[in-house]
Amino acid sequence: MIGDIKSYLGVYNDAMSLRAHRQQVLASNIANADTPHYKARDFDFRETFAVATGRHESPGPDAVRLSRTHARHLDGHQGGIADVPLLYRTETQSAVDGNTVDMDVERAEITDNALQYQIVSQFLSDKIRGLRSAISSNQG
């Protein structure tokens, strides 16, 4: 029963975790807007979400994998946010100091991500409300 609920709500948990992580990455870009030679980072949410939910395979051949030389060694796969491949954002305007943060792009992305987080949060809230309703109507 609990496993069914977890699988029912798990996709929303994954989406919210990835959205929160992306918000941190975008905030880091904004915080480093004046840092010389800082390269703006981000990740492809759709691709990462597909990997997190099992709809895609993990990153391809350039991904570095740890090898296990003993049966009791950990496999090095942590899953979740630790495996999110951060990419460098393409430069939209050149800066003299080599910084690639474009504040207009970052503000737009952080606003869009916050809105998407809010939407997922509302979906999750609606699902939980539906489960509560089903449970309370079953008890009477």
Read off the pLDDT of residues 22-50 as tens digits, 9 standing for 90 and up: 999 999 999 999 999 999 999 999 999 99
The span from the CA of 84 to the CA of 28, in Å, is: 15
Read off the pLDDT of residues 74-132 as tens digits, 9 standing for 90 and up: 655 545 565 688 999 888 877 899 999 999 999 999 999 999 999 999 999 999 998 88
Higher pLDDT, 95 or 3: 95
Q: pTM value?
A: 0.76
Per-residue DSSP letter, 90: P
Show the domain range for 29: 2-138
Higher pLDDT, 59 or 71: 71
Q: 114 CB contacts (<8 Å, ≥6 apart)?
A: 23
Based on the structure, what is the number of domains in the chain?
1
In this structure, the number of other CB atoms found within 10 A of the CB of residue 33 comes to: 15
